[in-house]
Structure 1
């Protein structure tokens, strides 16, 4: 009985020594607001550390509000940290409207006990702007025209240099000079180029840029 009492007393003492504490070490955006077009993604980053003496779970939160104070974004993630351990949590927030959005990060012990917050007062750190539109495309061809390649020309799955190249048994990294085809779609503007969808006589079909500056990469075949 004496040993049991001592064990219980020690357990109570140890439990009383447990300290749950955390610190927000960094966050982003922080000092300067981030500007993003509607539809673009803004990474929200929160770095926290466990300042307590026990492994503990923490609830990380990020909140955004629009200029009228309405909720514009809410993110939550549970993490577990050992004493002295730190981690960075990233949420990808998609901007859905124009305007200024205030942001605040929070760390909670549970759903009712807040441990840390930054910035202390929500701050306008995300700015949504109108997307830039590509200029209306105009080119030297029209649908139905027969054209010919003048250079080793990339053929892509869509208009724009970020679109992958087509895959075809007769396509090996580019369409060589002198290959004819027919315009089946376009023009489209993307990445500073005017693009045409060409169906080549080799069976390859995809989007090609008509040229760059004074350079001509596709020419119309007479007749």
Structure 2
């Protein structure tokens, strides 16, 4: 039997959606193949080239002159330097996104061993050094801070209701305060993560 057939797949509106989603599936992923990595390389290169064209002084000169930017211009050494600068930004983006993913996974119950396995098979100690705040042991009712997708949230426990709730401010400055309606901290973390991801794009600043 195919493994996918034994993994529950509730719809978003189902009552048990979050309890099922927050129960880890093992294995969490299948190893990417060559086609997957080639496709990833292509998408990263496309994104880096787009940024290189925006920051390149030569490309800026072409835009100012009203001249089309021919793809052959990418052969210019200065364009390749702009591409290299763009790839550095891509690496920084990967680091930020990896920290967000590790934090969300760790606060949702993943161990440093699991985080290390996902990050190319590094050891548990190395994963702990890389993301020291991803997995935090704390009293069961202590508030849990969460940084994700450029925003931040705090998961709280309401002892009177014996339920969890969250406050969150997303990257686009949208704010949300939930009801104390979640039976576990993991479910509240998942809902806060969903909100932060939905509002991940920073608000555009108007320039005079």
| Shorter-normalised TM range | under 0.3
TM-score (norm. length: structure 1): 0.22
The structure whose residues are more often strand, as a share, is 1
Higher-RCO chain (CA-CA 8 Å, sequence separation at least 6): 1
Larger Rg: 1
TM-score (norm. length: structure 2): 0.23
